[in-house]
Amino acid sequence: MPCGRITGTGSGLPERVMTNADMEKLVDTSDQWIRERTGITQRHIASDEETTSSLAETAARNALSAAGLEPGDLDMIVMGTTTPDQLFPNAAVLLQSRLGIGGIPAFTLEAACTSFLYALSVADKFIRCGEARRILVVGAEKLSPLVDWTDRSTCVLFGDGAGAVVLEADDEPGVIATRLHADGQYRDLLYFPAGVGRNFPRVSDSRIQMKGNEVFRVAVKSLGEASRAILEDQGIGRDDIDWFIPHQANVRIIHATARKLDMPAERIVISVDQHGNTSAASIPLALDLAVRDGRIQRGQLLLMTSFGAGFTWGAALVRM
Ligand code: UT7
């Protein structure tokens, strides 16, 4: 049975970089607080013209080029995002139109920061059942319009961006396994308070709400448990993992999770310092960073794990 193998990765980041010094001009914060409590030094913030689908297009074209493919070689697009340009057509269809490839299925999954792992898992299933051979999997977000730029406890955290991978059918894994979870009992700890069914007229006045401390605690527990479970399920030891690529929300969450797994610091990919928390884009952005700077090599084993609003969480084991 074939499974999905990542043959190309790509990023799409807004041009504008906001540093911690820029944040100091907006709210009562300091570069020192942000670096010590989150590990973030800068984030990219999209302009009015840059949207989730435009950032996704850049990431997609970079991933396709790395895979040596053209958009027309794809037979499916699966996108993870919480911040589509518009409610419909879905964000993957807007991306498809930007890539100029009509006809193939294109759909979007929303699982907050875990959206990319959900998308990767679903795409891999399509390859395993033989319905697709070349799938573009994207995680993309434009979170900045949802951020309360007067709330120092959240505005310093988030960034915009997109990451993409090309998943191709291969007899050798590839995506070895994925584990997905969700628990809606935590829906009030991290949420956006408006949508079609609630506060509809006030969508543009609404902002991200988060109880940071409580989210932090459950994040460390869930990321650790999902990672340990997928390793146990597959009979793979921590020492077999070449690179640990966790969701990039806060460097303290990353290190606390790594300690639970006994994962050495030198095997962790960290990009939250450069990108902030880009939700669905965080894992594919971190992956692309480490592929392009030469750390991640073909044949190496990756453990990815993510956590987000809902809560949703999960893990993936991927052979490059
Ligand atoms: O992607 C989905 C998941 N999201 C996350 O995983 C985020 C999880 N949570 C976190 O990363 C952290 O909880 C935060 C970074 C949000 C907050 O860090 P913390 O160490 O938990 O800080 P805290 O909320 O306990 O606040 C400590 C202090 C407070 O002051 P007092 O009450 O002790 O006087 C805050 O008002 O830090 C203050 N504070 C700030 N100070 C300067 C909060 N934000 C800031 C800020 N600059 N930006």
Tell me the pTM. Answer: 0.97
pLDDT band, very low/low/confident/very high, at 203 (cuts 50, 70, 90):
confident
Strands 312-319 and 161-170, by their bridges, are unpaired
CB of 278 within 8 A of CB of 288? Answer: no
* Residue 253 Cβ contacting ligand 1 at under 6 Å: yes
Helix (H, G, I), strand (E, B) or coil at 283: helix
pLDDT band, very low/low/confident/very high, at 201 (cuts 50, 70, 90):
confident
Q: Kindly give the number of the ligand 1 atom that is closest to the alpha carbon of 250.
A: 11
CB of 134 within 8 A of CB of 99? Answer: no
Tell me what pLDDT residue 173 has: 86
Query: Which amino acid does the sequence have at 299?
Result: G
pLDDT (tens digit per residue) in 239-248:
999 999 999 9
- Quick one: what percent of the chain has pLDDT higher than 70? 100
Tell me what pLDDT residue 283 has: 98
How do the domains of the chain map onto residue ranges?
3-172, 176-319
pLDDT band, very low/low/confident/very high, at 220 (cuts 50, 70, 90):
very high
pLDDT band, very low/low/confident/very high, at 202 (cuts 50, 70, 90):
confident
Is 277 considered catalytic here?
yes
3-172 and 176-319: identical CATH topology = yes
Residue 91, CB-side half-sphere exposure with 13 Å CA sphere? 27
Residue nearest to atom 38 of ligand 1 (CA): 153
Helix orientation angle between 251-261 and 31-38, rounded to the nearest 10 degrees: 20
Residue 44 is encoded by which pair of tokens?
A: 């990219």
**pLDDT exceeds cutoff 90 at 96:** yes
What is 3-172's CATH number?
3.40.47.10
Catalytic residue among 90, 247, 250, 275: 247
CB of 142 within 8 A of CB of 278? Answer: no
The mean pLDDT value for 135-151 works out to: 97
Running DSSP on this structure, what letter comes out for residue 112? T
How far away, in angstroms, is 145 Cα from ligand 1 center?
A: 20
Distance, in Å, from the CA atom of 133 to the CA atom of 141, rounded to the nearest integer, reads 26
Running DSSP on this structure, what letter comes out for residue 70? -
Residue carrying the six token digits 């959206």: 115
Tell me what pLDDT residue 175 has: 98
pLDDT band, very low/low/confident/very high, at 1 (cuts 50, 70, 90):
confident
Topology, domain 176-319: Peroxisomal Thiolase; Chain A, domain 1 (3.40.47)
Q: List, in sequence order, the alpha helices (H) in the chain.
A: 20-26, 31-38, 52-67, 91-99, 115-128, 152-155, 212-234, 251-261, 272-275, 282-292
pLDDT (tens digit per residue) in 261-271:
999 999 999 99
**pLDDT exceeds cutoff 90 at 219:** yes
pLDDT (tens digit per residue) in 253-291:
999 999 999 999 999 999 999 999 999 999 999 999 999
Residue carrying the six token digits 């453990």: 303
Residue 291 is encoded by which pair of tokens?
A: 């592929």
The mean pLDDT value for 74-90 works out to: 97
Task: State which of 25, 28, 36, 37 you would mutate to test the pocket of ligand 1, scoring each by most atoms of that ligand within 8 A of its C-beta.
Answer: 37
